[in-house]
Structure 1
Amino acid sequence: MSRFIGDKRKVVCLIIIVCIVFLSLLGILFVGRTTAGHTACIYSNGRLIRTVELDSESEQTFTVYSDGGGYNVIKVSGGAISVSDADCPDKICVKTAPVSDGIQPIVCMPHKLVIRVEARRGEYSYDS
């Protein structure tokens, strides 16, 4: 009988540990996907030319012109930013998925355009 009680305690402890790990991972995923408070910073030729709030409800589309005469059409929708059209030869920036976090920037090398998503000061950041 005492052996059965010891096995039962081990099973209960194992279930509790699995639940704690699961809830921790769920919390990390939830915090990592939060886009509220993020700002997209758009750089052309190394200079900050525009900032866009991603937590805005409205959808925006605007064009950024490079010094060499090229263009990139930027779209902000659903808390994410993307390049919807460009006249660069490889169009890697257009093929890049919309971004809503600071993990990966959008880059257009021919037009020297970089779009980075950053958290506002005092909020959660992937860099901290």
Structure 2
Amino acid sequence: MQGKLRWGDFVICAVVLALAGLITLPFLFQPSDSLTCEIKQGDTVVKTIRLADGYQDTITLTAGDITNVIEVDGKSVRFASSNCPDQVCVHTGTLTRAGQMAVCLPTRVVVRLIGEDTTVDAVAR
């Protein structure tokens, strides 16, 4: 065997590269996931926001002595601050994918992301 490449080697490389390109092509032109943020307090929908790059908003909700500040930044949402005792809502972090949610139980505020993404993280039986 010699260490030289033959024309057949180039043909095989070209075919492999063409197949790799064809496999990745559908993923390149796939529409981006559209996300909607739904903010509820109790049973009432306070605000519904269609998330998009460049969109920013700050929502302040109050229930009794407790105030929640929710920040929307592009395609992510988070509880920026809350003066509730346990701070679970703030420690939940930033929501970026469909199906994620953050809840402040003392104020009954629920922030959840709704989208077309139907992937499943895990299945329990």
- Alignment match of 1:73 (pick from 69, 72, 75): 69
Residue 60 of structure 2: aligned partner:
63
Residue 51 of structure 1: aligned partner:
48
Displaced runs of 4 or more, over 4 A:
none
- Alignment match of 1:94 (pick from 90, 102, 107): 90
Q: Which has the higher strand share?
A: 2
- Alignment match of 2:112 (pick from 93, 97, 116): 116
Structure 1 residue 41 displacement after superposition: 0.3
Unaligned segments of structure 2, at least 5 residues: 1-15, 120-125
Q: CA RMSD in A?
A: 3.2
Distance 1:45 1:70 in 2: 14
Aligned residues: 102
Is 1:54–1:100's contact at 8 Å kept on the other side of the alignment? no
Structure 1 SS opposite 2:93: coil
- Alignment match of 1:126 (pick from 110, 118, 124): 118
**In the alignment, residue 81 of structure 1 is paired with which amino acid?**
V
Identity in percent: 25
**In the alignment, residue 77 of structure 1 is paired with which amino acid?**
D
**Superposed CA offset, 1:36-82 (max 9, x none):** 4211000101211111221141322221122x342110101131000
Residue 8 of structure 1: aligned partner:
none
TM-score where L is the length of structure 1:
0.63
Structure 1 SS opposite 2:48: strand
Structure 2 SS opposite 1:89: coil
Unaligned segments of structure 1, at least 5 residues: 1-15
Is 1:73–1:86's contact at 8 Å kept on the other side of the alignment? yes
Structure 2 SS opposite 1:75: strand
Q: Which has the higher helix share?
A: 1
Distance 1:51 1:69 in 2: 24
* Higher Rg of the two aligned structures: 2
**In the alignment, residue 50 of structure 2 is paired with which amino acid?**
E
